[in-house]
């Protein structure tokens, strides 16, 4: 009997997780049961994905660059990737600003709703932590981003998933240097990373076998934790973000169709396992191994491109996050009657683009950098906690959705760059390792 494709299995796991979460919410001690006995399976899955992220970046980038045989090809790929990433982010912010100014979700908020949200969330420890983290980020100098990108110790950089850019830097530096050394001297190193890369990709396949169960656990946990009481008050705000994200998908599909000639639906189908994992984990960093595998095997982007575009994208390209930051900043300003000029809107385009680059690829990071966006338009510091309190209740579900867009954006750019440098081949469907028999084979 033909087995269900992986994305369907994951989808079923997600729906079952939502239903189970709703049921458990109505049962005494149901939430505690989910937290103690169900959620740990989700945590294990996320930890496994994070576990292989650094070895995967290292092995695949070093192999990818050393396969290029020529540094000029790498600078072409690098330049195009960064250029297109910036372009898609600016498009995302602009879409967000357009929508929030047309729908004006903040204008319709009643004073009672604002007061209730303030009372419920302004002192919430998560809101306070986000404000403190943003404060620390703000104190950084203008070139800090580049200073932080260069590690001074590889072992300590590689020991933290939050320092992926440093690992990427090391891998690129190592790969380029390898290109400059005569082939016969590095042949052993090359085949080491080649083998390592295949092993890590096999680990992704094995981890993905538990994805349907893991997403069940992750979603059940999200559902039992979400407070539903205030969601109606934020419906227009949430709708504005979701509409913007949907439009962004349309932009990606159009770009794929027009610039690569590929069928947009097969693009969506190919990237769907990564999208579903992104939705369930709210972390593009944790999803990275799945994104890379989908981009290479399901979409046919060659390793030389995918191994650079995907990890860099996971850390710096967050179209969904930047769009959300634009909508959220204007929504908060509207609700708290803080008038914004055209100049402020332009400042948002700039700061939301930079803020999304600076946001970590982990759950809730977009909200930290939102503080920086708000401050850039002169939003009063004493009202920041109230501002965050307004959007906090729906942040997790919106985070799940914007992470899907972040990952889809990376995959789109991988295809565009791949096409532009002649490295977009046919999907390697034979490696579609969705089932145990194939994983073993």
Q: E strands, 79-126, where?
A: none
Q: At its nearest, how many Å lie between ligand ASP and the CB of residue 419?
A: 24
In three-state secondary structure terms, 301 is strand
C-beta atoms surrounding 436 within 10 Å: 12
Name the residue with the smallest CB distance to ligand ASP.
366
Closer to ligand ASP by Cβ: residue 211 or 314? 314
* 135 half-sphere exposure, CB direction, 13 A CA radius: 9
Q: At its nearest, how many Å lie between ligand ASP and the CB of residue 87?
A: 19
Q: At its nearest, how many Å lie between ligand ASP and the CB of residue 163?
A: 15
Closer to ligand ASP by Cβ: residue 46 or 377? 46
Q: At its nearest, how many Å lie between ligand ASP and the CB of residue 397?
A: 12
Q: At its nearest, how many Å lie between ligand ASP and the CB of residue 57?
A: 16
Closer to ligand ASP by Cβ: residue 23 or 242? 242
Q: At its nearest, how many Å lie between ligand ASP and the CB of residue 141?
A: 24
Residues 6+ apart with CB under 8 A from 193: 58, 59, 62, 63, 66
> Cα(221)–Cα(13) distance, rounded to whole angstroms?
13
Q: What are phi and psi of 424, to 5 degrees?
A: -115, 105
Bridge partners (DSSP) of residue 424 are 301
Q: At its nearest, how many Å lie between ligand ASP and the CB of residue 401?
A: 10
Residues 6+ apart with CB under 8 A from 434: 3, 5, 6, 9, 208
Closer to ligand ASP by Cβ: residue 66 or 282? 282
The residues binding ligand ASP (CB under 6 A) are 282-284, 318, 321, 359, 361-366, 399, 402-403, 406
Q: At its nearest, how many Å lie between ligand ASP and the CB of residue 278?
A: 7
Q: At its nearest, how many Å lie between ligand ASP and the CB of residue 309?
A: 16
Closer to ligand ASP by Cβ: residue 277 or 424? 277
> Cα(435)–Cα(208) distance, rounded to whole angstroms?
9
Closest CA to 233 of 329, 118, 340, 323: 118
Closest CA to 204 of 429, 309, 50: 50
- Long-range Cβ contact pairs of 83-86 (< 8 A, separation 24 or more): 84/413, 84/416, 84/417, 85/312, 85/313, 85/316, 85/317, 85/413, 86/353
In three-state secondary structure terms, 270 is helix
Dihedral in degrees, nearest 10, Cα atoms 349, 411, 155, 133: 30
Residues 6+ apart with CB under 8 A from 420: 80
Closer to ligand ASP by Cβ: residue 50 or 148? 50
In three-state secondary structure terms, 19 is helix
Q: At its nearest, how many Å lie between ligand ASP and the CB of residue 218?
A: 13
Q: Is the dihedral of CA 375, 381, 383, 388 positive or negative?
A: positive
First to last CA, the chain: 18
């Amino acid at each position: 009997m033909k087995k269900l494709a992986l994305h369907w299995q994951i989808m079923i796991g997600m729906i079952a997780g939502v239903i189970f979460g709703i049921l458990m919410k109505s049962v005494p001690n149901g939430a505690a049961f989910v937290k103690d006995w169900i959620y740990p399976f989700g945590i294990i899955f996320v930890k496994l994905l994070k576990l292989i992220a650094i070895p995967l970046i290292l092995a695949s980038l070093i192999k990818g660059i050393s396969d290029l045989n020529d540094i000029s090809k790498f600078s072409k790929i690098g330049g195009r990737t960064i250029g297109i990433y910036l372009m898609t982010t600016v498009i995302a912010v602009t879409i967000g600003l357009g929508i929030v100014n047309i729908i004006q979700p903040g204008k319709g908020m009643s004073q009672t709703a604002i007061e209730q949200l303030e009372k419920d969330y302004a002192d919430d420890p998560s809101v306070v932590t986000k404000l403190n983290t943003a404060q620390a980020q703000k104190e950084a100098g203008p070139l800090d981003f580049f200073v932080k990108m260069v590690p001074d110790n590889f072992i300590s950089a590689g020991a933290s998933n939050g320092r992926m850019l440093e690992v990427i830097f090391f891998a690129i530096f190592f790969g380029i240097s390898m290109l400059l050394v005569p082939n016969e001297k590095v042949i052993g190193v090359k085949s080491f990373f080649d083998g390592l890369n295949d092993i890590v990709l096999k680990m992704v396949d094995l981890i993905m076998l538990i994805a349907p169960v893991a997403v069940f656990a992750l979603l059940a946990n999200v559902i039992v934790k979400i407070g539903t009481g205030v969601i109606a008050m934020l419906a227009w705000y949430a709708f504005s973000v979701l509409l913007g994200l949907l439009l962004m998908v349309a932009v990606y599909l159009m770009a794929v169709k027009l610039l690569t000639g590929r069928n947009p639906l097969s693009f969506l189908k190919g990237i769907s396992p990564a999208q579903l994992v992104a939705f369930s984990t709210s972390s593009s960093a944790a999803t990275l191994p799945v994104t890379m595998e989908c981009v290479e095997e399901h979409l046919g982007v060659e390793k030389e491109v995918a191994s650079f575009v995907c990890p860099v994208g996971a850390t710096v390209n967050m179209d969904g996050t930047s769009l959300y930051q634009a909508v959220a900043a204007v929504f908060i300003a509207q609700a708290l009657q803080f008038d914004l000029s055209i100049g402020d809107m332009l400042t948002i385009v700039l700061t939301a683009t930079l803020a999304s680059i600076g946001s970590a690829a982990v759950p809730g990071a977009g909200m930290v950098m939102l503080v920086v966006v708000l401050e850039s338009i002169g939003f009063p510091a004493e009202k920041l906690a109230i501002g965050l309190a307004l959007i906090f209740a729906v942040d997790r579900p919106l985070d799940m959705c914007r992470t899907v867009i972040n990952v889809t954006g990376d995959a789109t750019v991988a295809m565009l760059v791949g096409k532009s440098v002649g490295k977009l081949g046919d999907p390697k469907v034979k490696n579609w390792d969705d089932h145990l028999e194939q994983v073993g084979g």
